[in-house]
Amino acid sequence: MTALAFLDAAPRFLFFTGKGGVGKTSVACATAVRLADAGASVLLVSTDPASNVGQVFGVTIGNTVTPIGSVPGLSALEIDPEQAVQQYRERIVGPVRNVLPAAAVASIEEQLSGACTTEIASFNEFTDLLTDAAWTAAYDHIIFDTAPTGHTIRLLRLPGSWTDFLNEGKGDPSCLGPLSGLEKQRAIYAEAVAALADPARTRLVLVARAQQSTLQEADRTHTELAGIGMRNQYLVVNGILPDDAVGADALAASIHDRERLALADMSEALKALPTDRIDLKSSNMVGLTALRSLLQAGDSPTGSADVSLVTPDAPLSALVDEIAAGGRGLIMLMGKGGVGKTTMAAAIAVALAERGLPVHLTTTDPAAHLADTLHGAVENLEVSRIDPAVEIQHYTDSVMRSKGAHLDEQGRAMLAEDLRSPCTEEIAVFQAFSRVIREAKSKFVVMDTAPTGHTLLLLDATGSYDREVKRQIGGTMHVTTPMMKLQDPAQTKVLLVTLAETTPVLEAAELQEDLRRAGITPWAWIINNSIAAAAPDSPFLRARATNELAEINQVQARYADRLAVVPLLSAEPVGIPALRAVAEGQLAGYARVSSSHQSSTRVP
C-alpha cells in the first residue's frame, strides 16, 4: 500500500476540508475504507448539506448510523439539515404546543424556519460526535467529510462563537427562538473547542487540486483554522495528472505544466505542511473498487482510444444570445461547489456586457473570487460581492439608528448584544440578496450563487419571507416578493452548472427537483470542463472522456430543456480574453431539447 503522511498514526478525529470539487468526499471515503480494511472500527460522517457519501458507496445513508455492509467495520452518517431541524424544532415547540395559543406557537415555528436554525441544529449533532464518549466509544476513528470551505470555516468557528455569545449573555429575546436551549450546551461547546485544538485527538486534512485557486483557498483555510487553534494540519493535493499520461497530447501537456507551476507557486505556509500527492484516476470515484484504487499509485485506463468522442453541438454563446434577447433579468448560476459556477457566471456577464447591455455580476458564495477570475474591467459591467461581514455591519447600524433610537442606554446595550447573535447574518445577507434582485428590473443581474447546500438555505430564507409577507397582507394589496420573482421565468433564469461525472450530475438533478418543489424551473444546464468536448489524443484523457459520454447523454435526454457543453481548456479561463473565449468558443455546443426529453437528441 502507498504510504501516506496524513494517515501516519492517525488520531481519532480526521477532518477533510477544502474548496468544493477538489475531491474531499472521495478522499474521506477512501480513507475510511483503508482504515476499516486494516481492522479499525470507523464512523464516516458528512456535515455537508449537499452530501453525496451515499452515492459514492451506492447505499442509502441518512441521519442515523448506517453500517456499510460491503466494508466490515465501517459505518456512515449523513447529518441531514432538514431532519436535524425537524427534530430540533420539535424539542422546542413540542412542550408548548398545547399550552400556548396557536398564534404564539405559529410565531415560534416561523422563527425556527430559517438558515440560522438549520445551522444550530446541525451543529448540535456535530458537537455530540466530538464530545459524547459513550455514544462514540465503539469507533477507533471518526472521519468528517465536511462542507465546502466557506461552510467549514463557519462550522468550525461555531463552538468558540457560541461559547463567547453565551458568556456575554443572550440579550433581547427577539432572536431566542433558534437560540433556545443553548445555555445548557455551554459545557459541550467548550469541550468541542478543546477536542478541535488537541493534536492528539484531531487532525485537519486540507484537500486541494494542483490549481492556483484551490491551493489559495487551502492557504486561507490553513491560516484561519490555525487561528482558532486547529494547527495539526496536513495537505493532500488530489487529482494530479500522472506523468505517464501526457505523451504527445497537447491538452495533457498543458494541464501537466499548469499543475506543476501551481504546485511550485503555492505559499511557503502550505509547503511547510506534511503533504501527500494523489494521482488522477481514469475512472469515476464511485464504488468500492474505485475507492480502494484512489490511495494507490498507478492506474490502468479503462476506456478505448477508438471510441468516437461525439458531444452535442451546444455553444454557450447560443444560451447567451437567447438570454440577451430579453434585455434584462436575473440570471442565477447554481450547482455543486467546484463545477465552475464562478467562471460560467463571469463568462456570461462579460458576453452580455460586450453586447452593449448593462450587467451587474455578483456572488453570494463566501469562497468565490470574482475579481481574480475577471482580472480586468469591461464596459457596461459592474462587479460586486455580497460580503456577510459588510452586510452585518450595515444591518446592525440600521437597526441601532432606527429601533435603538427609541431605547434608553440599557435597552441599547441589550439590542447591541442581540445583534451580535449569529442569527443576524441570515437577516443581513437576505436583505442584500433582495436588494440585488430589485436591480434586475432595469438591467441584467448575473448571480454566482453559493454551492448547492448554501443556495437551498438562501432560497429557504426567501421562501420564509415570501410566506410571511403573504400572511401579513392577506388580500388587501398586491405585492411581488423575491420568491415570486424567482418563480417567474420572464424575470429569472436559473442555470445549473455541472461536470460530466456521476456525482455532480446526480446532485444537479436533485437540486433541480428541489427547485421545482419551490416553484422554480431551471432554464438551462451547462456541462463545464468536458474532456470529451476537447477531443484529446492522450489514451488516459480519452478513457476519462469516454466515461463522460453517458453522463452527457443522461443530462440531455432526461434533465435539460436547454444545454451548453463547455470543453476543458488548455489554459485556466482567467481574464477577460479567456472568458470571452469560453462564451464564444467553437469547441462548445448548444442544443435545445424538447420538453419530453425524447431519445432522438441523445449523444451518439
Residue type, 274: P
Query: What angle separates helix 149-168 from helix 212-227, to the nearest 10 degrees?
Result: 20
d(CA 505, CA 450): 17
d(CA 377, CA 371): 9
CB 481 within 8 A of CB 470: yes
- Known active-site residue 26: yes
Write down the catalytic residue from 23, 150, 329, 453: 23
Q: Please name which of 561, 567, 600, 559 lies closest in space to residue 583, comparing C-alpha atoms.
A: 567
Write down the catalytic residue from 47, 48, 337, 502: 48
Write down the catalytic residue from 20, 21, 335, 585: 21
- 372-to-124, 216, 220, 267, 342 alpha-carbon distances in Å: 36, 11, 15, 17, 10
**Phi, psi of 47, rounded to the nearest 5 degrees:** -110, 15
- 284-to-59, 60, 241, 445, 543 alpha-carbon distances in Å: 17, 19, 14, 35, 11
- Known active-site residue 247: no
- Known active-site residue 23: yes
d(CA 497, CA 212): 21
- Known active-site residue 299: no
Residue 433 grid coordinates: 440578496
- Known active-site residue 25: yes
Q: Three-class SS of residue 446?
A: strand
Write down the catalytic residue from 19, 24, 281, 341: 24
- Known active-site residue 306: no
Write down the catalytic residue from 17, 26, 283, 364: 26
- Known active-site residue 488: no
**Phi, psi of 413, rounded to the nearest 5 degrees:** -65, -40
Write down the catalytic residue from 75, 424, 452, 503: 503
Q: What is the largest CA-CA distance in the chain?
A: 79
DSSP conformation letters of 549-590: HHHHHHIIIII-SEEEEEEPPSS---SHHHHHHHHH-SS-EE
Write down the catalytic residue from 25, 283, 311, 343: 25
User: Cβ contacts of residue 205 below 8 Å, gap of 6+?
Assistant: 6, 14, 15, 16, 17, 27, 233, 234, 235, 236
Residue type, 520: I
Residues belonging to the active site: 21, 23-26, 48, 503
